[in-house]
Structure 1
Amino acid sequence: MARNAPALAGAGAPTARRAKLLGPLEVVFLGTCSSAPSSTRNQQAVALRAAGATWLFDCGEATQKQMMASGWRTSAVARIFISHMHGDHIFGLPGMLCNVGTSWPQGGHHVTIVGPLGLRQWVRVALAVSFSSLGEGNTYSVHELVGLEADAARGAFDNGFLRAASGPLHPCERDGLDIAPDSSGVWHIPPLASDPPMRVRAAELSHRVPTVGFAALEDERPGGVDAASLLPILAAEGVPASAIGALKRGEPLSLPSGRVLTAAEFVRPSTRRKLVVLGDLSAASDAMCELASDCDLLVHEATNAYLERDRERQPTASAESVEAAATLKGHSTPQMAGRLARRVRARNLALTHFSAMYSGAVDEASLLVMAEIESLARQECKLAGTAVFAARDLMSLTVAVDGRVTVDAGPDGDEPAA
Structure 2
Amino acid sequence: MELQFLGTGAGQPSRARNVSSLVLKLLDEINEIWMFDCGEGTQRQILETTIKPRKVRRIFITHLHGDHIFGLPGFLASRAFQANEEQTDLEMYGPVGIRNYVMGSLRASGTRLPYRIHFHEFDDNNSGKVLETDKFKVYAEKLDHTVFCLGYRVVQKDLEGTLDAEGLRKAGLPFGPLFGMVKKGQNVVLDDGTKIIAKDFISEPKKGKVVTILGDTRKTDASVRLGLGADILVHESTYGKGDDKIAHKHGHSTNMQAAQVAKEASAKRLLLNHVSARFLGRDCKKLETDAQTVFKNTHLVWDLEEINL
In the superposition, the TM-score normalised over structure 2's length comes to: 0.86
Amino acid paired to 1:189: L
Q: Is structure 2 residue 177 aligned with structure 1 residue 267?
A: no
In structure 1, the residue matched to 2:307 is 397
Q: 2:49 aligns with which of 42, 60, 70?
A: 70
In structure 1, the residue matched to 2:3 is 27
- After superposition, residues 8-157 of structure 1 pair within 5 angstroms as 25-51=1-27, 52-104=31-83, 108-134=87-113, 137-148=114-125
Q: For the aligned residues, what is the CA RMSD?
A: 3.0
What is the percentage of aligned positions where both structures have the same residue?
A: 29
Amino acid paired to 1:32: T
Structure 2 SS opposite 1:54: strand
In structure 2, the CA distance between the partners of 1:121 and 1:239, relative to structure 1 (3 Å rule), is same
Superposed CA deviations along residues 151-176 of structure 1, whole A, max 9, x for unmatched, are: xxxxxxxxxxxxxxxxxxxxxxxxxx
- Report if the CA contact (8 A) 1:31-1:42 is conserved: yes
In structure 2, the residue matched to 1:240 is 173
CA distance in 2, matches of 1:381, 1:358: 20
Runs of at least 5 residues in structure 2 that lack an aligned partner in the other structure: none
| 1:394 to partner: Cα distance | 0.8
Q: 1:280 aligns with which of 212, 216, 219?
A: 216
In structure 2, the CA distance between the partners of 1:119 and 1:263, relative to structure 1 (3 Å rule), is same
CA distance in 2, matches of 1:212, 1:44: 14
- Report if the CA contact (8 A) 1:33-1:42 is conserved: yes
CA distance in 2, matches of 1:391, 1:218: 23
CA distance in 1, matches of 2:119, 2:5: 23
- Report if the CA contact (8 A) 2:43-2:78 is conserved: yes
Q: 1:295 aligns with which of 230, 235, 239?
A: 230
| 1:55 to partner: Cα distance | 1.4
| 1:139 to partner: Cα distance | 2.1
| 1:265 to partner: Cα distance | 10
CA distance in 2, matches of 1:108, 1:72: 16
Superposed CA deviations along residues 301-360 of structure 1, whole A, max 9, x for unmatched, are: 000103xxxxxxxxxxxx2xx11321222111111111111122211211000000123x
| 1:96 to partner: Cα distance | 0.7
- Report if the CA contact (8 A) 2:151-2:226 is conserved: no
CA distance in 1, matches of 2:164, 2:193: 21
In structure 2, the residue matched to 1:188 is 130
In structure 2, the CA distance between the partners of 1:267 and 1:324, relative to structure 1 (3 Å rule), is same
Structure 2 SS opposite 1:283: coil
Amino acid paired to 2:39: G
In structure 2, the residue matched to 1:198 is 136
| 1:371 to partner: Cα distance | 2.5
Structure 2 SS opposite 1:122: helix
- Report if the CA contact (8 A) 1:34-1:356 is conserved: yes
In the superposition, the TM-score normalised over structure 1's length comes to: 0.65
- Report if the CA contact (8 A) 1:145-1:187 is conserved: no
- After superposition, residues 372-387 of structure 1 pair within 5 angstroms as 372-381=286-295, 387=297
CA distance in 1, matches of 2:200, 2:233: 31
In structure 2, the residue matched to 1:160 is none
- Report if the CA contact (8 A) 2:129-2:137 is conserved: no
Structure 2 SS opposite 1:66: helix
CA distance in 2, matches of 1:227, 1:335: 49
Amino acid paired to 2:117: Y
Amino acid paired to 1:80: I
Amino acid paired to 1:199: K
CA distance in 2, matches of 1:358, 1:397: 22
Q: Number of aligned pairs?
A: 303
- After superposition, residues 310-349 of structure 1 pair within 5 angstroms as 319=242, 322-349=243-270
- Report if the CA contact (8 A) 2:18-2:303 is conserved: yes
Runs of at least 5 residues in structure 1 that lack an aligned partner in the other structure: 1-24, 149-179, 307-318, 360-365, 400-418
CA distance in 2, matches of 1:351, 1:278: 10
